[in-house]
Structure 1
Amino acid sequence: MGSTPLGHAASITKETLPPMHPAGRPFVLGGIAATLALRKVSKPLGVLAGLGTLATAAFFREPVRVPPVRTDVVVAAADGLVSLIEEAVPPIELGLPAEPLTRVSVFLSVFDVHVQRMPVTGVVERAVYRPGKFLSADLDKASEDNERNSLLVRADDGRQLVVTQIAGLVARRIVCEVGEGQRLDAGDTYGLIRFGSRVDTYLPRGSRVLVREGQRTVGGETVIAEPAAKG
């Protein structure tokens, strides 16, 4: 029995439009309600509210991503622009030794996908939230001063890394959906930062960085580092 035109259209829509993260539903539902209410008062205002609702739905999109076949690499935790690659001490609240690791910082504009994805397959050993300021996320000191949530992850090969969600100038809410002891696969969605932010990944020791500043990353897919070559 062939598919109906309505079913075909629904299939195309599902394949074309990425799904939305659950955290966005209250905002979109509120936008729809505001749009319907404003249309009764003024059609132009209703159109503007409708456009704002569509923009909000786009912000909370959660597209399907396919991680690399290799299991020893570190993939980007977020979509965005590589803004900094430097040596830095991991967040103090994780209780790690105060020794610098290579840190890859990815800046997310309001137009980027804002869900965060696991950079490796492994277990979350620590998850710590720390309140802070809301400086522009592209500033160097945002990593130290801004509100943040950090995960210490042990990959299946035994290496440890840290991934930190950092609130920005506009972002005022960090959502982290995983806890200590939880196991996830590389590319799995684990959180969200609302409206402009930054994600820092502190690489395992001996990693070879495969991205450069100014490069764009695709969360869950772009390989940002691999173990150093033996020999």
Structure 2
Amino acid sequence: MTTIDREAAPATAVAALPSLLAAVTGRGRLALALGVLPVAVAAFFRDPQRRTDVEPARRDDVLSPADGKVMYAGPGQEGVAPEGEWQQISIFLSAFDVHINRSPVSGVVTDVTYRPGKWLAAYKHESAYLNERSDITIEDVVDGEVRRTHVRQIVGLMARRVVTRVTVGERLTAGQRIGLMKFGSRMDVFVPPHVELLTEGGDRVVAGESVLARWPSA
């Protein structure tokens, strides 16, 4: 089942104005042609059901937080990764991908930080630290081990707004919806060095279903 996120309403209304104007001025064919625009905008905000909506994820799995293509998977890049030692997975979302974001792991939100910035193309390296973005830190304790995962929503050239719907202290389950980014963007996931990466550059991934990495079992 696929629904439409509530953020679609204002954007779709604006997109419908040219078609309505053409209709009231008697330009029927033009109105029909322009009617494709609000439909396309509404489709951008589609929110399909994923497996984790009905079936819990394995506790050691780090799920993809976004639909898209893996641009990079490896050691944390200098100037991009948070302070400390991390592995990094960067996912590029085109305008045609589903833009609903999901939590890659279960745990408690310990930090949410929004940073205003530029709107460089999301596939550019510098977009990770110059563009508008929201950083989310999630922590969980499994068999006495503190597991910390860092997620970053980054807007792109077309995306001009990041929407984050989680707050500090909130407990999340893996695959739970945490927000969205509007019109083409990027999402980074950072995990500690001892976590096994299971994806590589060029892979297509699906939010809430594709496994990007796996914590070692106790």
Using the size of structure 1 for normalisation, the TM-score is 0.84
Aligned counterpart for 1:77 among listed residues 62, 65, 85: 65
Give the Å deviation of 1:72.
Answer: 1.3
Aligned counterpart for 1:64 among listed residues 36, 42, 49: 49
2:22 corresponds to which letter in structure 1?
Answer: L
2:207 equivalent to 1:223: no
Give the Å deviation of 1:90.
Answer: 9.0
Give the Å deviation of 1:32.
Answer: 4.0
Aligned position for 2:87? 102
Indicate conservation of the 8 Å contact 2:51/2:209, yes or no.
yes
| Bigger-Rg structure (1/2) | 1
Question: Secondary structure in 2 aligned to 1:202?
Answer: strand
Structure 2 unaligned residues grouped into runs of 5+: none
Aligned position for 1:190? 178
Aligned position for 1:178? 166
Distance change (3 Å), C-alpha of 1:89 and 1:100: farther
Give the Å deviation of 1:204.
Answer: 3.2
1:85 corresponds to which letter in structure 2?
Answer: A
Question: Secondary structure in 2 aligned to 1:161?
Answer: strand
Give the Å deviation of 1:193.
Answer: 0.6
Aligned position for 1:23? 7
Give the Å deviation of 1:210.
Answer: 0.6
Aligned counterpart for 1:54 among listed residues 15, 35, 39: 39
Q: Give the % identical residues.
A: 36
Indicate conservation of the 8 Å contact 1:121/1:156, yes or no.
no
Question: Secondary structure in 1 aligned to 2:7?
Answer: helix
Question: Secondary structure in 2 aligned to 1:159?
Answer: strand
Count the aligned residue pairs.
Answer: 211
Using the size of structure 2 for normalisation, the TM-score is 0.89
1:19 corresponds to which letter in structure 2?
Answer: T
Aligned position for 2:116? 131
Indicate conservation of the 8 Å contact 2:108/2:171, yes or no.
yes
Q: After superposing the two structures, state which structure 1 stretch, 69-78 or 44-53, moved more.
A: 44-53
Distance in 2, matches of 1:215 and 1:185, equals 24
Question: Relative contact order (alpha carbons < 8 A, sep ≥ 6): 1 or 2 greater?
Answer: 2
